[in-house]
Amino acid sequence: MRYIKLGRTGLDISPLVLGCMTYGVPDRGNHAWTLDEEQSRPFIRKALDLGINFFDTANAYSDGTSEEIVGRALKDFAKRDEVVIATKTFFHWRKGPNGGGLSRKAIFHSVDDSLARLGTDYIDLLQIHRYDQTTPIEETLEALHDVVKAGKVRYLGASSMYAWQFAQMVYTSRMHGWTKFVSMQDHYNLLQREEEREMIPFCIDEHIAVLPWSPLARGRLTRDWDEGSDRQKSDVFGGTLYNATEDSDRAIVAAVKKVADARGVPRAQVALSWVAHRDGVTAPIVGASKPQHLDDAVAAIDLELTEEETAALEEAYTPRAIAGFE
Protein backbone atom coordinates (compact mmCIF):
# COMPACT_ATOMS: atom_id res chain seq x y z
CA MET A 1 0.00 0.00 0.00
CA ARG A 2 1.35 3.40 -0.93
CA TYR A 3 0.46 6.30 1.34
CA ILE A 4 -0.42 9.85 0.43
CA LYS A 5 -0.94 13.11 2.30
CA LEU A 6 -4.34 14.31 3.46
CA GLY A 7 -4.69 17.56 1.54
CA ARG A 8 -2.06 20.10 2.52
CA THR A 9 -1.39 18.38 5.86
CA GLY A 10 1.54 16.13 6.73
CA LEU A 11 -0.78 13.27 7.70
CA ASP A 12 -0.08 9.99 5.88
CA ILE A 13 -3.23 8.16 4.78
CA SER A 14 -4.03 5.18 2.58
CA PRO A 15 -5.65 6.09 -0.78
CA LEU A 16 -8.73 4.22 0.45
CA VAL A 17 -10.87 4.87 3.51
CA LEU A 18 -12.85 2.07 5.15
CA GLY A 19 -16.34 3.45 5.68
CA CYS A 20 -17.70 2.00 8.91
CA MET A 21 -21.42 2.76 8.60
CA THR A 22 -21.73 -0.94 7.75
CA TYR A 23 -20.67 -1.89 11.28
CA GLY A 24 -23.09 -1.41 14.16
CA VAL A 25 -25.81 -3.08 16.19
CA PRO A 26 -28.51 -3.84 13.57
CA ASP A 27 -31.54 -2.85 15.65
CA ARG A 28 -30.06 0.52 16.62
CA GLY A 29 -30.78 3.51 14.41
CA ASN A 30 -32.12 3.16 10.86
CA HIS A 31 -29.51 0.83 9.36
CA ALA A 32 -31.12 -2.60 9.56
CA TRP A 33 -28.50 -4.00 7.18
CA THR A 34 -25.48 -3.39 9.42
CA LEU A 35 -23.17 -6.15 10.65
CA ASP A 36 -22.86 -6.81 14.36
CA GLU A 37 -19.55 -6.73 16.21
CA GLU A 38 -18.61 -10.35 15.63
CA GLN A 39 -19.29 -10.02 11.91
CA SER A 40 -17.57 -6.62 11.65
CA ARG A 41 -14.21 -7.31 13.23
CA PRO A 42 -12.80 -9.53 10.41
CA PHE A 43 -13.36 -6.71 7.90
CA ILE A 44 -11.54 -4.16 10.04
CA ARG A 45 -8.69 -6.59 10.55
CA LYS A 46 -8.49 -7.41 6.84
CA ALA A 47 -8.43 -3.71 5.97
CA LEU A 48 -5.45 -3.26 8.26
CA ASP A 49 -3.73 -6.32 6.76
CA LEU A 50 -4.18 -4.78 3.29
CA GLY A 51 -2.53 -1.55 4.45
CA ILE A 52 -5.63 0.60 4.90
CA ASN A 53 -4.99 2.91 7.85
CA PHE A 54 -7.94 5.34 7.50
CA PHE A 55 -11.28 4.49 9.17
CA ASP A 56 -14.36 6.68 8.93
CA THR A 57 -17.41 6.48 11.19
CA ALA A 58 -19.92 8.90 12.75
CA ASN A 59 -21.55 9.45 16.11
CA ALA A 60 -24.99 8.89 14.55
CA TYR A 61 -24.24 5.54 12.90
CA SER A 62 -26.34 2.85 14.60
CA ASP A 63 -26.85 5.12 17.62
CA GLY A 64 -23.11 5.32 18.27
CA THR A 65 -22.50 1.58 18.28
CA SER A 66 -20.42 1.89 15.10
CA GLU A 67 -17.91 4.02 16.98
CA GLU A 68 -17.82 1.47 19.80
CA ILE A 69 -17.21 -1.48 17.47
CA VAL A 70 -14.56 0.35 15.43
CA GLY A 71 -12.81 1.65 18.53
CA ARG A 72 -12.54 -1.75 20.17
CA ALA A 73 -11.35 -3.45 16.98
CA LEU A 74 -8.65 -0.89 16.27
CA LYS A 75 -7.46 -1.07 19.87
CA ASP A 76 -7.11 -4.85 19.55
CA PHE A 77 -5.64 -5.00 16.04
CA ALA A 78 -3.51 -1.85 15.59
CA LYS A 79 -1.27 0.69 17.25
CA ARG A 80 -3.13 3.94 17.83
CA ASP A 81 -0.46 6.15 16.30
CA GLU A 82 -0.48 4.11 13.07
CA VAL A 83 -4.18 4.51 12.27
CA VAL A 84 -6.30 7.51 11.33
CA ILE A 85 -9.71 7.59 12.98
CA ALA A 86 -12.30 9.93 11.51
CA THR A 87 -15.77 10.55 12.89
CA LYS A 88 -18.54 13.05 12.30
CA THR A 89 -21.00 15.17 14.21
CA PHE A 90 -24.25 16.98 13.38
CA PHE A 91 -27.09 14.46 13.25
CA HIS A 92 -28.75 13.65 16.56
CA TRP A 93 -26.77 11.07 18.51
CA ARG A 94 -29.05 11.24 21.53
CA LYS A 95 -32.63 12.32 22.21
CA GLY A 96 -33.60 15.68 23.58
CA PRO A 97 -32.48 19.28 23.04
CA ASN A 98 -28.84 19.90 22.11
CA GLY A 99 -28.44 16.24 21.10
CA GLY A 100 -27.48 17.26 17.57
CA GLY A 101 -26.52 20.23 15.42
CA LEU A 102 -23.36 22.31 15.52
CA SER A 103 -23.82 24.59 18.50
CA ARG A 104 -20.87 25.02 20.85
CA LYS A 105 -22.65 22.91 23.48
CA ALA A 106 -23.47 20.13 21.03
CA ILE A 107 -19.96 19.99 19.57
CA PHE A 108 -18.26 19.79 22.97
CA HIS A 109 -20.62 17.07 24.20
CA SER A 110 -20.52 15.07 20.98
CA VAL A 111 -16.72 15.06 20.90
CA ASP A 112 -16.52 13.82 24.49
CA ASP A 113 -19.13 11.14 23.77
CA SER A 114 -17.30 10.02 20.62
CA LEU A 115 -13.98 9.81 22.47
CA ALA A 116 -15.60 7.60 25.10
CA ARG A 117 -17.20 5.31 22.54
CA LEU A 118 -14.04 5.06 20.43
CA GLY A 119 -11.93 4.44 23.53
CA THR A 120 -9.27 6.93 22.49
CA ASP A 121 -7.81 10.18 23.75
CA TYR A 122 -8.12 12.02 20.44
CA ILE A 123 -9.92 12.00 17.10
CA ASP A 124 -7.67 12.35 14.07
CA LEU A 125 -10.29 13.93 11.81
CA LEU A 126 -13.52 15.45 13.12
CA GLN A 127 -15.96 16.23 10.32
CA ILE A 128 -19.16 18.25 10.44
CA HIS A 129 -21.66 15.82 8.92
CA ARG A 130 -23.81 18.55 7.36
CA TYR A 131 -24.21 22.34 7.35
CA ASP A 132 -26.23 23.62 10.31
CA GLN A 133 -28.79 26.15 9.09
CA THR A 134 -29.76 27.11 12.65
CA THR A 135 -26.40 27.97 14.24
CA PRO A 136 -24.18 30.96 13.37
CA ILE A 137 -21.10 29.65 11.61
CA GLU A 138 -18.83 31.71 13.86
CA GLU A 139 -20.13 29.75 16.87
CA THR A 140 -19.52 26.45 15.11
CA LEU A 141 -16.08 27.35 13.79
CA GLU A 142 -14.76 28.71 17.09
CA ALA A 143 -16.01 25.62 18.94
CA LEU A 144 -14.28 23.36 16.38
CA HIS A 145 -11.09 25.39 16.81
CA ASP A 146 -11.32 25.03 20.58
CA VAL A 147 -11.68 21.22 20.56
CA VAL A 148 -8.54 21.11 18.41
CA LYS A 149 -6.65 23.39 20.77
CA ALA A 150 -7.85 21.26 23.70
CA GLY A 151 -6.03 18.29 22.15
CA LYS A 152 -9.19 16.28 21.55
CA VAL A 153 -9.07 16.60 17.74
CA ARG A 154 -6.14 16.78 15.35
CA TYR A 155 -7.75 17.93 12.06
CA LEU A 156 -11.10 19.27 10.86
CA GLY A 157 -13.16 18.24 7.86
CA ALA A 158 -16.65 18.73 6.45
CA SER A 159 -19.22 16.73 4.53
CA SER A 160 -21.97 17.32 1.97
CA MET A 161 -23.09 20.93 1.60
CA TYR A 162 -23.23 23.60 -1.11
CA ALA A 163 -19.88 24.91 -2.26
CA TRP A 164 -20.83 28.47 -1.29
CA GLN A 165 -21.53 27.28 2.26
CA PHE A 166 -18.19 25.52 2.51
CA ALA A 167 -16.39 28.53 1.04
CA GLN A 168 -18.06 30.74 3.62
CA MET A 169 -16.82 28.48 6.41
CA VAL A 170 -13.31 28.17 4.98
CA TYR A 171 -12.84 31.92 4.61
CA THR A 172 -14.45 32.79 7.95
CA SER A 173 -12.03 30.43 9.71
CA ARG A 174 -9.13 32.00 7.85
CA MET A 175 -10.28 35.52 8.74
CA HIS A 176 -10.34 34.69 12.46
CA GLY A 177 -7.21 32.55 12.50
CA TRP A 178 -9.17 29.46 13.51
CA THR A 179 -8.21 25.89 12.61
CA LYS A 180 -8.58 25.23 8.88
CA PHE A 181 -10.67 22.58 7.18
CA VAL A 182 -8.44 20.00 5.51
CA SER A 183 -11.01 17.70 3.88
CA MET A 184 -14.42 17.52 2.23
CA GLN A 185 -16.39 14.29 2.23
CA ASP A 186 -18.88 14.55 -0.62
CA HIS A 187 -21.30 12.43 -2.65
CA TYR A 188 -19.51 11.56 -5.88
CA ASN A 189 -19.72 8.65 -8.31
CA LEU A 190 -20.59 7.86 -11.94
CA LEU A 191 -24.30 8.38 -11.19
CA GLN A 192 -23.83 11.65 -9.29
CA ARG A 193 -21.22 14.02 -10.72
CA GLU A 194 -22.67 17.40 -9.80
CA GLU A 195 -19.79 18.05 -7.38
CA GLU A 196 -17.58 18.55 -10.45
CA ARG A 197 -19.25 21.92 -11.05
CA GLU A 198 -18.17 23.83 -7.93
CA MET A 199 -17.16 21.80 -4.89
CA ILE A 200 -14.29 19.78 -6.35
CA PRO A 201 -12.75 22.76 -8.22
CA PHE A 202 -12.95 24.79 -5.01
CA CYS A 203 -11.22 22.02 -3.05
CA ILE A 204 -8.50 21.72 -5.69
CA ASP A 205 -7.88 25.47 -5.51
CA GLU A 206 -7.71 25.38 -1.70
CA HIS A 207 -5.68 22.12 -1.55
CA ILE A 208 -8.47 20.49 0.47
CA ALA A 209 -8.65 16.70 0.34
CA VAL A 210 -11.73 15.21 -1.33
CA LEU A 211 -13.02 11.97 0.23
CA PRO A 212 -16.00 10.78 -1.85
CA TRP A 213 -18.71 8.78 -0.11
CA SER A 214 -20.82 6.18 -1.90
CA PRO A 215 -18.32 5.85 -4.79
CA LEU A 216 -20.20 2.75 -6.01
CA ALA A 217 -23.63 4.40 -5.69
CA ARG A 218 -24.77 2.09 -2.88
CA GLY A 219 -23.76 -0.90 -5.01
CA ARG A 220 -25.87 0.07 -8.00
CA LEU A 221 -22.77 0.33 -10.19
CA THR A 222 -21.73 -3.23 -9.32
CA ARG A 223 -24.83 -5.08 -10.56
CA ASP A 224 -27.52 -4.93 -13.24
CA TRP A 225 -29.87 -1.98 -12.81
CA ASP A 226 -32.93 -4.15 -12.03
CA GLU A 227 -31.03 -6.33 -9.58
CA GLY A 228 -31.53 -5.26 -5.96
CA SER A 229 -29.88 -6.18 -2.67
CA ASP A 230 -30.93 -6.73 0.93
CA ARG A 231 -29.43 -3.38 1.85
CA GLN A 232 -31.21 -1.57 -0.97
CA LYS A 233 -34.57 -2.88 0.26
CA SER A 234 -34.13 -1.38 3.74
CA ASP A 235 -31.88 1.62 2.97
CA VAL A 236 -34.29 4.53 3.42
CA PHE A 237 -31.69 7.23 2.84
CA GLY A 238 -30.20 5.42 -0.14
CA GLY A 239 -33.61 5.39 -1.78
CA THR A 240 -33.52 9.18 -1.95
CA LEU A 241 -30.22 9.36 -3.84
CA TYR A 242 -30.89 7.73 -7.20
CA ASN A 243 -33.61 6.89 -9.77
CA ALA A 244 -34.24 10.53 -10.73
CA THR A 245 -32.68 9.99 -14.19
CA GLU A 246 -33.32 6.29 -14.68
CA ASP A 247 -32.65 6.05 -18.43
CA SER A 248 -29.27 7.75 -18.04
CA ASP A 249 -28.40 5.68 -14.98
CA ARG A 250 -29.30 2.42 -16.73
CA ALA A 251 -26.97 3.33 -19.58
CA ILE A 252 -24.12 4.18 -17.20
CA VAL A 253 -24.53 0.89 -15.31
CA ALA A 254 -24.49 -0.95 -18.64
CA ALA A 255 -21.30 0.89 -19.65
CA VAL A 256 -19.59 -0.18 -16.42
CA LYS A 257 -20.48 -3.79 -17.18
CA LYS A 258 -19.18 -3.53 -20.75
CA VAL A 259 -15.82 -2.09 -19.66
CA ALA A 260 -15.48 -4.61 -16.80
CA ASP A 261 -16.30 -7.56 -19.05
CA ALA A 262 -13.74 -6.43 -21.61
CA ARG A 263 -11.14 -6.05 -18.88
CA GLY A 264 -12.07 -9.31 -17.19
CA VAL A 265 -12.45 -7.63 -13.79
CA PRO A 266 -15.41 -7.08 -11.42
CA ARG A 267 -17.56 -4.03 -12.08
CA ALA A 268 -16.70 -2.62 -8.66
CA GLN A 269 -13.08 -2.22 -9.72
CA VAL A 270 -14.01 -0.23 -12.81
CA ALA A 271 -16.46 2.09 -11.06
CA LEU A 272 -14.12 2.71 -8.12
CA SER A 273 -11.10 3.23 -10.36
CA TRP A 274 -12.99 5.97 -12.17
CA VAL A 275 -13.62 7.81 -8.90
CA ALA A 276 -10.19 7.23 -7.39
CA HIS A 277 -8.36 8.69 -10.39
CA ARG A 278 -10.52 11.79 -10.92
CA ASP A 279 -8.87 15.19 -10.58
CA GLY A 280 -9.01 16.39 -6.99
CA VAL A 281 -10.01 13.08 -5.43
CA THR A 282 -7.78 12.03 -2.54
CA ALA A 283 -9.27 8.81 -1.18
CA PRO A 284 -12.70 7.24 -1.81
CA ILE A 285 -14.63 5.89 1.17
CA VAL A 286 -15.55 2.24 0.60
CA GLY A 287 -17.86 0.00 2.55
CA ALA A 288 -17.22 -3.71 2.96
CA SER A 289 -19.72 -6.38 3.95
CA LYS A 290 -18.22 -9.23 1.89
CA PRO A 291 -14.55 -10.28 1.76
CA GLN A 292 -14.17 -9.49 -1.95
CA HIS A 293 -15.24 -5.89 -1.38
CA LEU A 294 -11.88 -4.99 0.15
CA ASP A 295 -9.92 -6.98 -2.43
CA ASP A 296 -11.74 -5.18 -5.26
CA ALA A 297 -11.18 -1.80 -3.61
CA VAL A 298 -7.42 -2.29 -3.31
CA ALA A 299 -7.20 -3.63 -6.88
CA ALA A 300 -9.10 -0.58 -8.18
CA ILE A 301 -6.37 1.76 -6.98
CA ASP A 302 -3.91 0.18 -9.43
CA LEU A 303 -6.42 -0.17 -12.28
CA GLU A 304 -5.92 2.65 -14.76
CA LEU A 305 -8.68 3.20 -17.28
CA THR A 306 -7.90 4.30 -20.83
CA GLU A 307 -9.25 7.55 -22.26
CA GLU A 308 -11.64 5.53 -24.42
CA GLU A 309 -12.94 3.55 -21.42
CA THR A 310 -13.38 6.72 -19.40
CA ALA A 311 -15.29 8.38 -22.22
CA ALA A 312 -17.58 5.35 -22.52
CA LEU A 313 -18.36 5.46 -18.80
CA GLU A 314 -19.13 9.18 -18.86
CA GLU A 315 -21.02 9.45 -22.14
CA ALA A 316 -24.56 8.80 -20.86
CA TYR A 317 -24.42 11.14 -17.85
CA THR A 318 -27.07 13.86 -17.73
CA PRO A 319 -27.31 16.79 -15.30
CA ARG A 320 -29.47 16.13 -12.28
CA ALA A 321 -30.41 17.59 -8.92
CA ILE A 322 -27.89 17.24 -6.16
CA ALA A 323 -28.65 14.54 -3.63
CA GLY A 324 -27.39 13.74 -0.15
CA PHE A 325 -27.16 17.22 1.39
CA GLU A 326 -30.00 16.68 3.86
Question: Which domains are present in the chain?
Answer: 4-314 (3.20.20.100)
Comparing CA positions, the residue from 317, 108, 32, 44 lying closest to residue 196 is 317
pLDDT tens across 293-305, in order?
999 999 999 999 9
Q: List, for residues 180-196, the tens digit of each pLDDT value.
A: 999 999 999 999 999 99
The verdict on whether 61 is a catalytic residue reads: yes
What confidence score (pLDDT) does residue 27 get? Answer: 79
Query: What pLDDT was estimated at residue 92?
Result: 85
Neighbours of 197 (CB within 10 A): 12
| Mean of the per-residue pLDDT values of the chain | 94
Of the candidates 42, 69, 19, 48, which has an alpha carbon nearest to the alpha carbon of residue 218? Answer: 19
Query: Of 23, 61, 131, 242, which one is the catalytic site residue?
Result: 61
pLDDT tens digits for 249-301? 999 999 999 999 999 999 999 999 999 999 999 999 999 999 899 999 999 99
Is the model's pLDDT at 317 over the cut of 80?
yes
Lowest mean pLDDT among 216-225, 231-240, 278-287: 231-240
Q: What is this structure's pTM?
A: 0.95
54-56 and 285-286 beta bridge pairing = unpaired
The contacts found for 273-278 with CB under 8 angstroms, 24 or more apart, are: 273/300, 273/301, 273/303, 273/304, 273/305, 274/190, 274/305, 274/310, 274/313, 275/188, 275/189, 275/190, 275/212, 275/215, 276/15, 276/16, 276/215, 276/300, 276/301, 277/304, 277/305, 278/188, 278/200
Residue 242 has pLDDT above 80, yes or no: no
Q: What pLDDT is recorded for position 33?
A: 81
What percentage of the chain carries pLDDT values higher than 70?
Answer: 95
Contact 21, 66 (CB under 8 A): yes
**For residue 41, is pLDDT > 80?**
yes
